[in-house]
Each structure stands twice: as C-alpha cells, then as structure tokens.
C-alpha cells in the first residue's frame, strides 16, 4: 500500500468556455503519491479518495470524468495522479440539474433532443382571406366556416399544415428493457411533461425504441446496464370543427393522433320523410313516369332499408326526378341523409364530425419508467 497521497497546488487548473449558447467548465486536481516500493500497483481512486462521477470539493457543478496516473522519476517510487472534472450546462440543462453524471446512472434524469416539422392533415373549416373574391364578389365566408360549395356539398382535398415534433429521450436503466419494443405505435393515455412542453393524452406517439448495453464507472464501481432511446412524435393537431347543430358555431379540439371522421357515405337509410334535418331529396322516393310522386312517398319496399343516396333534379313540367348521387353525402347519426340546405329552427346544420381513437394507448411514462425531472 502506498505511504502517502498529497494534493498538489501545482498542476491544478480551472477553465470556462461558452459553446452552443451554454457554459462548459473544466477543472484539474493533481495528487503526488509516494509508493512503498518501486512499481507498486494501487487503486488511484480509492487511495486519493476521488472517484469518477464524484463532485469537485469547491465547485459542486463539476463532476470527475476521468483520471490518469504515471510514474515520476527513475526510481518508480513516486506517482502523479491527475483527475479531470467537467460540466456542460448546455447539454445537461434538459435534465434540470447542473451535471447529470453526479448521480448514479440508475437515478439519473433522462435527457432529450427535439426537432419540429410539418405534416398535411384534412381541414374541416376555413375562412375567407381577402375582402373580395377573384371574380370581384364579396367572400361567401366572412368567418370560419365549413368547406361547402354553393350547393352545400363538401369540397374534397381541403388540407392544412399541422406541426409535429420528433423527440428522442435517452436514459440509462439497470433492467432488461426489451419488452418496451412491444409498445411501438402506442400513444399516451395520460399527460406527459417534457421540459416546458405538455403532451396531453393521445398527442404522443411511440415511433421506436433503441436498446444498447453499456457500462459506466461511478464512484469506484463499474455499473452495467442499458442505454435506451425512445423515439416519440408529438402532434397536437389543433382543428376548428363546426357545431353540427349550428353551422356558425365552432369548437376547437386538440385531436392529436386520433381521427376526425366526417359522417358521410354513398348509401343512406331510407327513412325520415317529413322529419326536420333529413334531406328529403336524397331519399329513395316513389316515381311515376320518371317524376317524383307528390306527396312524396318511399319507393316500393324500400322504407327503413339501406339504399343508394339520391339527388333530386328538375324534371319536365316543373316536377322532380332523381338520379343516383355520384359522391358521398352527409349523414345523420342514424344513417338518414342530413339536410345541409334548409334551416332547422332558424339554424343551418353542418355535417357530423366524430372523433375516433385508432392507436392503442397506455401510460407511457409509467411503462417506460421515464425520469423526465430531476
């Protein structure tokens, strides 16, 4: 066992640099160790009382990152041990502490990196922009409204750009995390807080998990575990949805990874003659001599059955005839055709829009054991 270890003033150093809009500090401590015999083997960390991962005695923001020892002189009786300390605030700021390596790997908060981009999603509302249209007329939409043409048919292909944020969360664990691969494609069932970003339910999608065995020295021991990287995508997908009962009233929803579905189709339930909110001209009606019979009645043996949606058009002598609808039409919740043209109780209806969950959800923070705060 060496005889004595003395910390030297000569060789000690401290430095601070600015990089990536943050601060990086470094420091050096030097010990002189007198051996009991030439070429004696010893543990520099244990004998000097300084360990990789330990804090600097006067600057607790620094942690020992490595050390080296070498013999001094030809006698091989003196060894010089140098311990290097480092902190990088610009890297560790996401973990809400000065230097994450000052804590044991199994307790160390996760770190993360992020990047944002845009994706195209369907738009269920729009608004006029200029005071006049291209043809010189005033805009038909003064405020947010449903994308309908003058005949109250929905335009197809109207989209908007939604923001998505790709997040990579890295943390160390001392258990086998291979089971986490089974949760790729899952979304969060409960809110997840990542820094100042709040991910409400169904806004965070697991895109993939990377697992890699790793070892790391800490306070005189060698810790073995796994480095896990969770690739997530955050999408708020905030949309403006018209109220079904009043086309001039709108609600704003944070849809996330759920699906908003306009209730429409090529087929209808042939029911609802005389019922407000049911498009009478879209029902399969009885005809004679290629004209709709007045008063209107269901086509033979079609009441309460599923039929092709119809469109009423002008016939001869001022009457009406029907042809099969060439596109999907709005439906009520019971499958009858929805009337978007005539006011009901003084208000114009808009299509029903339903929200559906399409991805499995779970408590991601609990399942993954995410340590997102200090």
Residue 149 near residue 125 (C-beta atoms within 8 A): no
Same domain as 11, residue 120: no
Would 251 be classed as within a structural domain? no
pLDDT of residue 140: 54
Would 101 be classed as within a structural domain? no
- Between CA 364 and CA 332 the distance in angstroms is 37
- Between CA 126 and CA 241 the distance in angstroms is 10
- Between CA 67 and CA 368 the distance in angstroms is 34
Torsion, Cα of 184, 186, 190, 196 (10° steps): 50
Domains contained in the chain, number = 3
Would 231 be classed as within a structural domain? yes
User: Coil, strand or helix: which one is 366?
Assistant: helix
Same domain as 285, residue 215: no
Same domain as 331, residue 289: yes
Would 344 be classed as within a structural domain? no
pLDDT of residue 187: 98
pLDDT of residue 89: 46
Same domain as 234, residue 275: no
Same domain as 188, residue 115: yes
Task: Share the mean pLDDT of the chain.
Answer: 87
pLDDT of residue 133: 64
Same domain as 121, residue 85: no
Would 345 be classed as within a structural domain? no
Same domain as 223, residue 183: yes
**Token pair of 339 as six digits:** 């009337």
Would 164 be classed as within a structural domain? yes
- Between CA 246 and CA 257 the distance in angstroms is 27
Same domain as 234, residue 122: yes
- Between CA 156 and CA 153 the distance in angstroms is 9
Would 156 be classed as within a structural domain? yes
Same domain as 74, residue 142: no
Residue 80 near residue 30 (C-beta atoms within 8 A): yes
pLDDT of residue 185: 96
Determine the distance from the C-alpha atom of residue 288 to the mean position of all C-alpha atoms in its chain, rounded to a whole number.
58
pLDDT of residue 99: 58
Same domain as 233, residue 129: yes
What does 103-148 look like in DSSP terms, one character per residue? S-TTTPPPEEEEEEEEEEEE-S-B---SSS-TTSSPPS-SSSB--B
Same domain as 193, residue 299: no
Would 15 be classed as within a structural domain? yes
Domain end marker among 34, 58, 90: 90
Pick out the chain residues at pLDDT < 50: 89-97
**Domain span holding position 285:** 264-337
pLDDT of residue 142: 54
Same domain as 184, residue 117: yes
């Amino acid at each position: 066992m060496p005889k004595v270890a003395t910390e030297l003033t000569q060789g000690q150093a401290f430095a601070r640099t600015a990089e990536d809009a943050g601060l990086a500090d470094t420091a050096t401590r030097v010990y002189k160790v007198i051996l009991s015999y030439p070429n004696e083997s010893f543990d520099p960390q244990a004998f000097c009382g300084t360990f990789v991962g330990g804090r600097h005695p006067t600057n607790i923001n620094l942690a020992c990152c490595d050390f080296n020892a070498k013999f001094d002189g030809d006698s091989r009786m003196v060894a010089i041990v140098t311990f290097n300390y480092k902190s990088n605030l610009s890297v560790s700021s996401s973990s809400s502490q000065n230097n994450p390596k000052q804590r044991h790997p199994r307790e160390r908060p996760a770190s993360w990196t992020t990047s944002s981009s845009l994706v195209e999603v369907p738009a269920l509302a729009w608004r006029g922009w200029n005071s006049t249209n291209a043809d010189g007329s005033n805009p038909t939409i003064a405020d947010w409204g449903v994308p309908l043409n003058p005949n109250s048919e929905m335009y197809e292909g109207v989209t908007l750009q939604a923001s998505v944020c790709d997040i990579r969360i890295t943390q160390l664990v001392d258990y086998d995390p291979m089971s986490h691969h089974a949760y790729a494609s899952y979304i969060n069932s409960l809110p997840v807080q990542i820094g100042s970003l709040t991910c409400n339910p169904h806004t965070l999608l697991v895109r993939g998990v990377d697992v890699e065995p790793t070892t790391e020295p800490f306070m005189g021991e060698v810790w073995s575990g796994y480095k896990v990287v969770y690739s997530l995508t955050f999408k708020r997908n905030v949309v403006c949805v018209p109220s079904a009962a009043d086309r001039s009233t709108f609600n704003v929803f944070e849809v996330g990874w759920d699906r908003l579905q306009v209730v429409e189709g090529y087929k209808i339930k042939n029911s609802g003659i005389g019922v407000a909110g049911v498009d009478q001209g879209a029902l399969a009606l009885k005809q004679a001599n290629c004209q709709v019979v007045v008063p209107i009645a269901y086509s033979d043996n079609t009441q309460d059955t599923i039929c092709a949606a119809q469109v009423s058009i002008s016939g001869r002598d001022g009457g009406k005839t029907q042809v099969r609808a060439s596109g999907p039409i709005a439906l009520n919740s019971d499958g009858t055709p929805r009337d978007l043209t005539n006011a009901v109780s003084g208000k114009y209806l808009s299509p029903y829009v339903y929200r559906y969950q399409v991805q499995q959800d779970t408590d991601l923070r609990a399942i993954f054991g995410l340590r997102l705060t200090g």
